[in-house]
Amino acid sequence: MNDESVSFKIEGGHKLSGTIATNASKNAAVGLLCASLLNQGKTILKNMPKIEEVYRVIEVLQSLGVSVKWRDNNVEIQPGKSINISKINKQAAVATRSVLMLLGPLSHLLKSYHLPLAGGCKLGARTVRPHLFALEKLGINIKTYHDYYSVSSIKLKSADVVLYEMGDTVTENALMAASKIAGTTTIKLASANYMVQDLCHFLQKLGVKIEGVGNSTLIVHGKPQINQKVEYNLSEDPVEAMLFLSLAATTNSAITIERCPIDFLQLELLKLEKMGFNYKILNHYKSQNGITNLVDIKTLPSKLTALEEKIHPLPYPGLNIDNLPFFVPIATQAKGTTLIHDWVYENRAIYYMELNKLRANVILADPHRVYIEGPTELRGAEVICPPALRPAAIILIAMLAAQGTSILRNVYSINRGYENLVARLQKLGAKIELLRGN
């Protein structure tokens, strides 16, 4: 689907009501698709989100000769006897940063290969050096050229690896590489975020022994041969749950958000609570994977006040880096001045300025910090989606809160990460429709 020509038309300023369920995690889905290459047997990933990012990774796998089939909401993956890297779908590969996570798995299947340079969200200088440094320790040598990585590995070896930064995808790459290397690999400064924990649980189902899941040091006991039929249920997406929390707070609506992975939302909810956001947790239960803790959250009308302290992200269990942008539209409706410090990405804070087109009062202090004065009455406008998922999503939220009609153009960025979002928002009473063509 070419979403360059797809837009959203929104009549904002309406209260929302009803119930919406949190879907499975985008970031877990793409990591597990890449990890399926580690298994010579059949992998069934259940509850797979039907989103553009997932489609792109599947297209890449299929172009390599991997059998990937949809069965309702599940995906069946069966690697072929050999991988034909020369036939890789370059167009799909460069459309997603997730292709980076093939470095670890492919290095068990090919002694040398070229991989197209990763794409995805345009968020400044998102360096790949942490991946190169980590995999180098395990015997994988990577050289970066203008539009591809040149990868070679003569002999893979277990090692003690200190990650250059506590990143999610670099942790996943190191895990996938270590999982099939004989011996014990220790990964220090590992991310313990939700998608990393999903990958650990999946690898454990494949028979890989991993100590320290949920902590910043992981000890991996490699299993050189993996050939078994495995099924795994993806966990729910805390970043999608945060989108709905932000939507409820910004539009001052009473809605119920089901299947929220509470362990990855606790600090976000505490910050919101201290801003005056009212909510109730209705139920506690497990995800279908039997591991992830879920709750239903009922939001209530609230009077918001800006926090005195800055709001900033940190690796888990800190405030999720992908959840930080959702505080921006909320802050437009909070009394006082909110400081958002987005220290991770060079360009993302600049995208927050797009809310000023809706008459928000966002002041850019530098490429990492914005001040937001509230509350402001947002007004409808026409905006082109930024080429980044979360900044695009917060413009959508602000438009749903804004009086009048808005047009959000070129929504591919949003469809990369959210499934069937228009229809789901319509069920909450949102006046939103798809426009095709110019």
Mean pLDDT by 10 residues, the chain (438 residues): 76 97 95 97 96 93 96 94 89 84 93 80 58 94 87 93 94 97 98 98 98 98 96 97 98 98 98 98 97 98 97 96 97 98 90 97 96 98 92 97 97 88 96 87
pLDDT of residue 119: 56
Instruction: Classify domain 26-233 by CATH number.
Output: 3.65.10.10
Beta pairing, strands 160-162 & 404-409: unpaired
Contacts of 350 (CB under 8 A, 6+ apart): 364, 367
pLDDT of residue 121: 46
Q: Do the domains spanning 3-23+236-436 and 26-233 agree at the CATH topology level?
A: yes
pLDDT of residue 256: 98
Question: Domain coordinates of the chain in residue numbers?
Answer: 3-23+236-436, 26-233
pLDDT of residue 71: 95
**pTM score, whole prediction:** 0.94
Sheet holding 404-409, edge to edge: 382-384, 404-409, 6-12, 431-436
Beta pairing, strands 230-233 & 217-221: unpaired
User: Which residues are paired to 257 by β-bridges?
Assistant: 20, 297
DSSP 166: -
Report CA Rg, the chain. Answer: 21
Say if residues 102 and 114 touch (Cβ distance below 8 Å).
no
Contacts of 421 (CB under 8 A, 6+ apart): 414, 415
Q: How far apart, in Å, do the first and last CA atoms of the chain sit?
A: 15
Q: Report d(CA 107, CA 205) in Å as an integer.
A: 21
pLDDT of residue 345: 84
Q: Report d(CA 107, CA 311) in Å as an integer.
A: 39
Concatenate the DSSP letters of all residues of 231-272 into one string: EEEPPB-HHHHHHHHHHHHHHT-EEEEEEEEGGGTHHHHHHH
Instruction: Classify domain 3-23+236-436 by CATH number.
Output: 3.65.10.10
State what percent of residues in the chain have pLDDT above 70: 97
